[in-house]
Chains A and B, each alone.
Chain A
Amino acid sequence: MGKRVAIVGFGQTYQRSSRKDVNGVELINEAVNTALADAELTIRDIDAVVIGNMDHFEGINYVDMWSAEGAGAVMKPVIKVCTGGTTGTTVAMCAYYHVASGMFKRVLAIGWEKNSESDTTGAIITAFHPVWERPTLGGAVAGLAIEASKYMANYGATERDGARVAVRERLHALNNPFAHLHQEWMKGIPVDQLVDLLVGSEQNAMLAYPLRMSDMCPRTDGAAAVIFAAEGTAEKIAPVPAWVHATANSHNFVYAGDVNMDRNTTIAEASKKVFKKAGIKEPLKEIDVCELYLPYSYAGLKWIEDIGFCAYGEGPRLLWDGVTDMDGELPVNPSGGVMSSNAIGATALIRVGEAALQVMGRAGTRQVKGGDVNLALATGFGGCYWGDVMLLGKKKPS
């Protein structure tokens, strides 16, 4: 059997719209140094490196080779992984498997992106088939708008419901010094009013119905690094390691037209696999916090249903009842989530890192449940509905 694995350190750069003072390698190096400092390790303690970003966002081919010096990968094994938005969780899972295999004791997972350096939509369009799709497809926003519309049609959800998710993410981000978007103006205004403001504002441009600017994630420059360690080593590094209880993923679609727009079947499948492995029967009750990769607001209504936190169509109720707020039964995205910071290669890894901080009780002003967090769920989303799920826990998995 494989080894038990825990997260023992997490570091991230302050997520900003544009870091003009550093190049990509230097940005990576910042996150790595922060993670090492967090775990009180040196680069010599690291046995292997896994790194991910989206090639066409920085225009670098073979990024693992190009960034070797900054990533601390010189004279170490290094692998590059890229799966679009899920890159960060795919990187985390790869690092997990490195350690679980028994071949490595301390592995560094790095995710980064300098979105300011490229035309994000231009690059994303190249994810689609050059002959069948590219000539007609309009980037990420269009596809997500279709999903949102379908959800509204199927379950009667409204624009206010979507905006309620956006408000939650942005309010949570106010507690997170690392988040990119800090909408200070929202402080002190009641949630209902904030929702009305977003839905009613003419300046809040409609991009593709029903998605407005406020429903989307920003483009961010940022890097993050997470350190995974093996049982026997992890306990010596972190006072409260965040143990990986289960991880799984699913990706069933290649062409945008094939995607099931009714339900997010891949996150559902991946979640089922994780819950089965970890023996979770009632996710809403048993899981204490969720860092859920939401590239846009309506996903926050729908995907919590797909994961199994509530029944289909119930998502809005959970939002409006405050279940997913900081003091709710299942806080979602205490970090502010992807909608508050989206350095694409880093983003999903930050979900994992933030979930780990919650378990470790080290999430500072964004800590939930007074630190009494037993299980935290982190998810990744990207590409053609590539869905990754990782469950972290305070107790060692059985």
Chain B
Amino acid sequence: MSKIAIVGVGQTTCTSSREDTFEEMVFEAATKALADAGAEVGDIDNVVTVSNDFWDGRTISSMAVQEAAGSWGKDVSTVEGDGTFGAFYGMMRILSGSFDTTLVVSHMKGSESIMNLITNAMFDPIYQRGLGIDATSAAALQARSYMAMSGATEEDFARVSVKNHGNARNNPYAQLPLKVSVRDVLASRKIAEPLKLLDCSPIGDGAAAIVLSNRKGLKRFKKDPVWIKGVAHCADAFNLGYRDLAKSRALKAAAKKAYKAAGIQKPLSDLDVAELYDAYSYMELMWYEGLGFAPEGKGYELIRSGATGMKGELPVNPSGGVLSSHPVLVAGMVRLVEATLQVRGEAGKRQVKGAKTALAHGINGPCGQAHCVFIVGA
């Protein structure tokens, strides 16, 4: 591959509630990404925004961010889903030959609405919504299925929380850096069993942006390119009861395609760092398996052995992950931003030494129905 590179990244801090409007946050992320790239808005050929009508409380929410995203006078489009899918589209638009550079920016103000109601609206209006199901209660069902299949325990989930909240202490952008122990997690308030408060991510406000360029456009920018070596996405079925919730076949399929393009054969050793979308603690263990870091059902081995800790063979979520900051739709893009910073050696205190090949992962839909996998490298 190596045709498209990430040349600029920007992210706002994630907080439980920011005073800025979402347009202001989009502007902040976009200008940060441009500044990072050493570029101006005129260097951008087209724009892709990422937003969601329900979360924004606004029909055609994509319409509202145009000025803030710098798309005046430019071709612009939008994706309603996680930021990684928007980045994918931004990349395709360059590969088409119509543009040399794309700015992709996503935003989210979780503080402005009630997460349970917004995610309840993801579910089928005839058969599911009236039951009151939402993203968290559905996730809890998946967590239990996974436990039954794999033998992973609540302690294993807690270990993920300890690791990620701890890692977040090195990340100035994270919403919830915490020093907690497994016991703290197990003792935290029950939310939807087996999930407890510290197994769940904090929905918050945030925005992030990336600047993509082909080889021809590179001269407009000052940063060293971080190349997209491989990328793919895939969606599973919607019908919750008819998916094997304990296994993520869509993630496997996406990873296979992305790995093939990037020449990754043994993920655990070929990758230097990974940023995964752990909306809930148990998800990180499931994604280890879907991504081939561990065999099916054995994800817990990696968290127990410390292989995915900062000192391990493959550090996962040095940023603190989604468990520490969850602006929905933005979180996947932040994974991509973090992966880029790692490859550049610009990840500050959360830097994995010598990282040259990084994986960034995003999800969409209930219980990780769809997955997007990016492999980026020097």
Q: Do A and B bind each other?
A: yes
Given contact pairs A61-B121, A84-B60, A75 touches B78 in the complex (Cβ within 8 A): no
| A68 to B238 alpha-carbon distance, docked (Å) | 6
Contact with B along A56-68 (1 / 0, CB 8 A): 1001111011111
Which of A32-40, A99-107, A148-156, A157-165 contacts its partner?
A99-107
Taking CB atoms, residues of chain A closer than 8 Å to B53 are 54-56, 61, 82
Given contact pairs A77-B233, A82-B53, A100 touches B119 in the complex (Cβ within 8 A): no
| A59 to B120 alpha-carbon distance, docked (Å) | 11
A253 interfacial contact with B, CB 8 Å: yes
Q: Are A77 and B232 in contact (CB under 8 A)?
A: yes
B97 interfacial contact with A, CB 8 Å: yes
Contact with B along A91-115 (1 / 0, CB 8 A): 0011011101111000000000000
| A1 to B60 alpha-carbon distance, docked (Å) | 32
Number of interface residues of A (CB under 8 A): 58
Q: Are A82 and B80 in contact (CB under 8 A)?
A: yes
Taking CB atoms, residues of chain A closer than 8 Å to B366 are 62, 65
Given contact pairs A127-B59, A254-B66, A65 touches B232 in the complex (Cβ within 8 A): no
Q: Are B95 and A102 in contact (CB under 8 A)?
A: yes
List CB contacts (< 8 Å) of B105-164 with chain A.
Answer: 118-119, 121-122, 124-126
| A55 to B249 alpha-carbon distance, docked (Å) | 27
* Distance (whole angstroms) from the CB of A93 to the closest CB of chain B: 7
A249 interfacial contact with B, CB 8 Å: yes
Q: Are A83 and B60 in contact (CB under 8 A)?
A: yes
* Distance (whole angstroms) from the CB of B327 to the closest CB of chain A: 16
Name the one of A60, A79, A102, A130 contacting B79, with C-beta atoms under 8 angstroms.
A79
A286 interfacial contact with B, CB 8 Å: no
| A127 to B58 alpha-carbon distance, docked (Å) | 5
Given contact pairs A126-B59, A127-B58, A82 touches B78 in the complex (Cβ within 8 A): yes
Taking CB atoms, residues of chain A closer than 8 Å to B74 are 250
* Distance (whole angstroms) from the CB of B133 to the closest CB of chain A: 13
Q: Are B125 and A59 in contact (CB under 8 A)?
A: yes
List CB contacts (< 8 Å) of B57-92 with chain A.
Answer: 57-60, 62-67, 71-81, 85, 88-89, 91-92
* Distance (whole angstroms) from the CB of A15 to the closest CB of chain B: 22
List CB contacts (< 8 Å) of B255-304 with chain A.
Answer: none
| A1 to B97 alpha-carbon distance, docked (Å) | 5
Contact with A along B210-247 (1 / 0, CB 8 A): 00000000000000000000001111111100000000
Q: Are B63 and A62 in contact (CB under 8 A)?
A: no
Q: Are B72 and A84 in contact (CB under 8 A)?
A: no
A248 interfacial contact with B, CB 8 Å: yes
Q: Are B63 and A79 in contact (CB under 8 A)?
A: no
Taking CB atoms, residues of chain A closer than 8 Å to B64 are 129, 254
Taking CB atoms, residues of chain B closer than 8 Å to A127 are 58-60, 63
| A182 to B276 alpha-carbon distance, docked (Å) | 53
Q: Are B66 and A56 in contact (CB under 8 A)?
A: no
Name the one of B81, B125, B235 contacting A76, with C-beta atoms under 8 angstroms.
B235
Q: Which residue of B lies closest to A54 (CB)?
A: B59
Q: Are A61 and B77 in contact (CB under 8 A)?
A: no
Q: Are A81 and B125 in contact (CB under 8 A)?
A: no
* Distance (whole angstroms) from the CB of A349 to the closest CB of chain B: 14
B305 interfacial contact with A, CB 8 Å: no
Q: Are A62 and B253 in contact (CB under 8 A)?
A: no
Q: Which residue of B lies closest to A90 (CB)?
A: B77
Contact with B along A347-390 (1 / 0, CB 8 A): 00000000000000000000000000000000000111010000
A19 interfacial contact with B, CB 8 Å: no
List CB contacts (< 8 Å) of B154-209 with chain A.
Answer: none
Taking CB atoms, residues of chain A closer than 8 Å to B239 are 69
Q: Are A66 and B124 in contact (CB under 8 A)?
A: yes
B308 interfacial contact with A, CB 8 Å: no
Q: Are A79 and B237 in contact (CB under 8 A)?
A: no
Taking CB atoms, residues of chain B closer than 8 Å to A269 are 73
Taking CB atoms, residues of chain B closer than 8 Å to A383 are 60, 63
Q: Are A75 and B236 in contact (CB under 8 A)?
A: yes
Taking CB atoms, residues of chain B closer than 8 Å to A100 are 92, 95-98
Q: Which residue of A lies closest to B93 (CB)?
A: A97
Q: What are 12 A-B interface contacts by the 8 Å CB criterion?
A: A2-B97, A56-B53, A62-B52, A65-B235, A65-B364, A75-B235, A75-B236, A78-B235, A82-B62, A100-B98, A254-B66, A383-B60
4 more CB-based (< 8 A) A-B contacts, given A79-B85, A96-B96, A384-B63: A3-B96, A68-B236, A73-B235, A249-B75
